[in-house]
Amino acid sequence: MSEFKYVQTERRDNVGIVTLARPEALNAVNEQVARELSDALMALDADDSIGCMILAGGDKAFCAGADLKWIASQDFESAYRTDLASYMDKIAQLRKPVIAAVRGFAFGAGTEISLMCDIVIADTTAKFGLPEVGLGVIPGAGGPARLTRAIGKAKAMYYILTGDSISAEKAEQLGMITSVVEDNQHLEVAVQIAKSIANKPRLSVLAGKESVNQQAETPLIPGLKLERRLFHGLFGTPDQREGMAAFAEKRKPNFKKYD
């Protein structure tokens, strides 16, 4: 398999495992991480010897969100021109099943990545959440669209607008994730499930995933496009600059007041 800087790949029989490996930044996503992660999974998806994939993180964080230095440097022009956050859409477009094995923080992009996966196994330390509204933006990698489909409008509205975190137990109750397992057992359980899936007839597995996604995501694309453009547009606002600066400086943000 290809060598990457921020992800590690391995195989266990007919299961491929991709692990985020940027521990110094709690696996925060920047452009390179997004591309490496997507490319690593696409390579496994194209490998006929692999029947199922697992996406894992570290001990402290599955993925703590987007890299603030990278994301705060964007403005509307750069976000719109490069279609910021769109590259990870490829994760949701993979044909083979992907199981997220989550431990620790899965905030922002971490929650969005887990929502792109087909099955989510989290241990008791996992915490999810979409806190972007507090930074003057909204989630831009499918968070609003996929969370609404996972838990319904009323609950998704609450978590998008408050940015509150969600424990693993609560995420399971809401239907965000598949199951909660004992501390540090997430990967072992994910491997067991992945091997079971990988040993099933390949075509029926592919067809089963496609049929479920067809029912769950249609019409997802128009919602994703609107979400992405609103996300880009918010990079032209003073509150976005203030929110991200305050986060980096560890102070309370002073957002614009309206009389």
> What is the pLDDT at residue 216?
83
Predicted confidence at residue 233, as pLDDT, reads 94
What value does the mean pLDDT take over residues 173-181? 98
Query: Quick one: tokens of 218?
Result: 């249609």
Contact 165, 107 (CB under 8 A): yes
Count how many domains the chain has.
1
| Mean pLDDT along residues 55-61 | 96
φ/ψ region of 178 (left if φ > 0, alpha if ψ in -120 to 50, else beta) reads alpha
Work out the number of other CB atoms within 10 angstroms of the CB of residue 23.
13
Per-residue pLDDT band for 218 (boundaries 50, 70, 90) equals: confident
pLDDT at 2: 53
Report residue 56's pLDDT band, with 50, 70 and 90 as the boundaries.
very high
Q: What is the pLDDT of residues 87-146, one digit of tens each?
A: 999 999 999 999 999 999 999 999 999 999 999 999 999 999 999 999 999 999 999 999
Q: Is residue 244 part of a domain?
A: no
pLDDT of residue 151: 97
Structure tokens at 127: 């915490």
Q: According to the model, what pLDDT value does residue 214 have?
A: 85
CA distances from 32 to 38, 66, 108, 229, 248 (A): 10, 11, 17, 22, 21
CATH number of the domain residue 35 falls in? 3.90.226.10
> Is 148 inside any structural domain?
yes
Domain that holds residue 17: 7-184+198-203
Whether 192 is in a domain gets the answer no
Q: What is the pLDDT of residues 156-168, one digit of tens each?
A: 999 999 999 999 9
Q: Identify whether 125 is part of a domain.
A: yes
Name the band, by pLDDT with cuts 50, 70 and 90, for residue 155: very high
Residue 50 placed within a domain: yes
Q: Which pTM value belongs to this model?
A: 0.91
Residue 258 counted as domain residue: no
Residue 49 lies in a domain: yes
Contact between 56 and 189 (Cβ < 8 Å) = no
Query: Could you say which DSSP state residue 13 is in?
Result: T
| pLDDT for the residue numbered 1 | 46
DSSP codes of every residue in 198-212: HTS-HHHHHHHHHHH
Do the domain assignments include residue 39?
A: yes
pLDDT classification of 219: cutoffs 50, 70, 90:
confident
